[in-house]
Chains A and B, each alone.
Chain A
Amino acid sequence: MFTDMPILPVIWFAVIGFAVAMYIILDGFSLGIGILFPFSKSDSQRDLMMGSVMPVWDGNQTWMILAGAGLYGAFPVVYATILPALYLPLVLMLLALIFRGIAFEFRGKSRKYRHMFDLAFAGGSVVATFAQGVVLGGIVHGLHVSDYQFAGSTFDWLTPFSLFTGIALVFGYASLGAGWLVVKTEGETQNLAYKALRPLTLLLLLAMAIISAWTPLSNSAIAERWFSTPNVYYLSIVPVLVVLLAVNIFFDVTARREKLIFTKLVMLFMLGLIGLVISFFPYVVPPSVTLWDAASGPSSQSFLIVGYAVILPIVLIYTAYSYYVFRGKVKPGNLHHY
């Protein structure tokens, strides 16, 4: 279908897609723990919750910078249209992330102001997640672009759909956070996460179903892609897998099988992203800008790919190593950085 188009922009699409996916999973569970913070029972429980992500959160967040800067270099049009179009939710997200970050650093260093840092952590996480969901919804809903610039108005992003995706992402990240806590903690904290997982998974499934119905209903091209034959035969595997995974997670929660819950939640998220790619490829700023329209020139993209080819594997190895090193359960006794 697109075989006569240059390949380099597609490679870049994959690279940045990978960085975005890494961000959503890794910072997703970190933010999720912040969202679950208000449901904790005690200060020591909050210590554990925060401790379970403490050594890795900063690295998790840097994927967002890598994705953002990569967009600027490889797809300047995406960078230059999405950012102004979703200006207010993006600024809100950045400010919320600053609060969240500062809370991470100082909560453990302070007893007197701890409640304030607790509030900044939970509030920052909820607001940043909601804003990210709104951004996602705003992009999926489509941006009015003309001559490679955003041509809409200030509140174009504010639609029932984007508010819905905002709320949905809060539940989504919370479920990732709960999945993480099930793996990383035990006892009361783990129990709290187990209890949260069933309603959260249900809500996540519901949200995915609503988005899956909403997008083809409002966009005939997407409906055409999913429901025309023969596409419908092999694409229907995506929703089937989603339902199977969700049911599986339910059984795992009931049986308290902790090992694979988080992995399955991650797979659920990945299926959601794959669904979006199926719906929109090759459009990167729906409904009008394709990845080839948005790409920087071959000279820029090849100059930049050299850097990514060197750095990305090193970062991945380091990331994997950090997670390996911090494997196992977080216990009150091994929180010695406090």
Chain B
Amino acid sequence: MFGLDAVDLARFQFAFTVSYHIVFPALSIGLASFLMALEALWLKTGNEVYHGLYRFWIRIFAVGFGLGVVSGVVMAYEFGTNWSVFAQRGGDITGVLLTYEVLTAFFLEAGFLGVMLFGENRVNRTTHFLATCMVAIGTLISATWILISNSWMQTPAGYHLVDGHFLPADWFSIIFNPSFPYRFVHMVLAAFISVSFLVAGVGGYHLLRNGKDPAARKMISMAMWMAIIAVPIQIVAGDMHGLNTLRHQPAKLAAMEGHWENQPGEGVPLALVGWPDMKQERNRFSIEIPHVASLYLTHTWGGQIQSLKDFPADERPDVPLVFWTFRIMVGIGMLMLLTGVVGNYLRWRGKLFTTPLFLRWVTIFSPAGFIALIAGWVTTEAGRQPWVVYGLMRTADAHSPLSFGEMVASLTGFIVVYAIIFAIGIYYILKLIRKEPQGELPSGGPGQNNTPKRPFSATLESFDD
């Protein structure tokens, strides 16, 4: 069917469920730190606007965390259901890392999340703030484990290969494998920035309805500071991550650049747009700027990088997919930078809260970070192909012995169910967002009916209209 086989469907299913899932951890990572900042500012300044914002966003955090748990259960099983050969041969390393991720999340739920969500009236302010900090740190630790696991698949290190099995030789080298530090910084910044633009969008939406709303003004203001500080840092971090990829995964980088072959003595051009044609091994309809890629990849005028033709055709990733998702990510990044510059220019002119066009733009632009984040993950994951463990184990050799029919049935099931759940979840989050940014305290915790094992219970909002 459409030239697809069971492996393609297994890949698509994994990509679909993990793309759906990643939105919620990213939201949790970004929002937890945002909430920590809000509470710190409230404690320091005593300004009730910060406190109101904390209460507003903590509900959205709770729902996002809950949806992350629901979609995470599927992920915990999918490595085995879809990639059993990989799970069996790599489990000594990746299984251990994934289990640590689950343990961290478990620990978080059991402890500090409860105090954070429901404890405001039960513990003193400092204790509550410490709980918020612990949750924020916890989300980062959780991300650490899963990013170590992914980075190890991208740039494996610290292993013995015995009869096709990856056995741990040195946990330190496994954990600090070459791409992990870059991936970690890039992903965490991405989560922060995604949430900043979500916050900006929500602020913009409320300012359009009530231009005096102090909480909405604060949201836009904070988000624009984040944009002007974090987006440039992210661009530098992304560039360093790219150089790391150039060193360890040159075929992926060549695909990102759409770089098919080197001309003797000529620098690498930057392909702005184009359609990489894998059969003809060239870019069609491309617009290129000579030497620019050499400049940012080798920091020289005429430097060359390995090109796609330096790799056998069966060791190249799907070039158009990698090429275009990379451009979507970078393009959105550039729009974010522009938004940050314009926003802060408006702030300087005293018009940040009173320019309807800008407010409308940030409202529309609010999901942009999450789109860029998914696009970036597609770039790195599709760019790793045809390997599941880069250079060592092919995806085609890693899949479970599943039939085409099984994959069609399960994929259909996942798409239908996720569509329903996503619709319900988004509908509910939008309802929370549309509320005025103020409201009553959630209460609960051990001793009451609402508890952190059920983050949804932090919000009392009715589901009906």
B454 and A55 contact, CB distance less than 8 A: yes
Contact with B along A46-58 (1 / 0, CB 8 A): 0000010011111
**A-binding segment of B87-95, B221-229, B302-310:** B87-95
> Which residues in chain A, 62-103, are within 8 Å of chain B measured between CB atoms?
62, 64-66, 68-74, 76-77, 79-84, 87-88, 90-92, 94-95, 97-99, 101-102
A296 and B96 contact, CB distance less than 8 A: yes
Chain B interface mostly: helix
Could you list which residues of chain A lie within 8 angstroms of chain B, going by C-beta atoms?
51, 54-59, 61-62, 64-66, 68-74, 76-77, 79-84, 87-88, 90-92, 94-95, 97-99, 101-102, 104-106, 109-113, 148-151, 153-154, 296-297, 299-300, 303-304, 307-308, 311, 314-315, 318-319, 321-322, 325-326, 334-337
The verdict on B278 contacting chain A, using a C-beta distance below 8 Å, is no
Q: Which residues of A contact B282 (CB under 8 A)?
A: none
Q: Which residues of B contact A99 (CB under 8 A)?
A: 417
Q: Which residues of B contact A299 (CB under 8 A)?
A: 92, 167-168, 171
Closest-CB distance, B324 to chain A (whole angstroms): 31
Nearest-neighbor residue (CB-CB) of A60 within chain B: B453
Closest-CB distance, B420 to chain A (whole angstroms): 8
B91 and A73 contact, CB distance less than 8 A: yes
The verdict on B450 contacting chain A, using a C-beta distance below 8 Å, is yes
B417 and A83 contact, CB distance less than 8 A: no
Closest-CB distance, A236 to chain B (whole angstroms): 37
B88 and A62 contact, CB distance less than 8 A: no
Most chain-A CB neighbours within 10 Å: which of B66, B72, B87, B167?
B87
Q: Which residues of A contact B449 (CB under 8 A)?
A: 51, 54-55, 326, 334-337
Q: Which residues of A contact B464 (CB under 8 A)?
A: 109-113
A95 and B80 contact, CB distance less than 8 A: no
Q: How far is the CA of A148 from the CA of B85 in the complex (A)?
A: 9
Nearest-neighbor residue (CB-CB) of B410 within chain A: A91
The verdict on B400 contacting chain A, using a C-beta distance below 8 Å, is yes
Q: Which residues of A contact B462 (CB under 8 A)?
A: 109-111
B95 and A300 contact, CB distance less than 8 A: yes
The verdict on B444 contacting chain A, using a C-beta distance below 8 Å, is yes
Please, how many residues of chain B have a CB less than 8 angstroms from a CB on the other chain?
68
Q: How far is the CA of A140 from the CA of B285 in the complex (A)?
A: 59
A65 and B102 contact, CB distance less than 8 A: yes
- In the complex, besides A72-B87, A336-B449, 8 extra interface pairs with C-beta distance below 8 angstroms are A73-B91, A79-B79, A79-B87, A84-B400, A154-B403, A300-B167, A314-B110, A315-B106
B417 and A73 contact, CB distance less than 8 A: no
Most chain-B CB neighbours within 10 Å: which of A76, A102, A299, A308?
A76
Partner of A90, one of B77, B98, B403: B77
Closest 10 CB pairs of A and B: A76-B91, A83-B80, A80-B88, A72-B95, A84-B400, A73-B99, A59-B453, A110-B463, A73-B95, A80-B84
The verdict on B409 contacting chain A, using a C-beta distance below 8 Å, is yes
A149 and B111 contact, CB distance less than 8 A: no
Q: How far is the CA of A262 from the CA of B77 in the complex (A)?
A: 31
Nearest-neighbor residue (CB-CB) of B87 within chain A: A80
B409 and A297 contact, CB distance less than 8 A: no
Nearest-neighbor residue (CB-CB) of A97 within chain B: B73
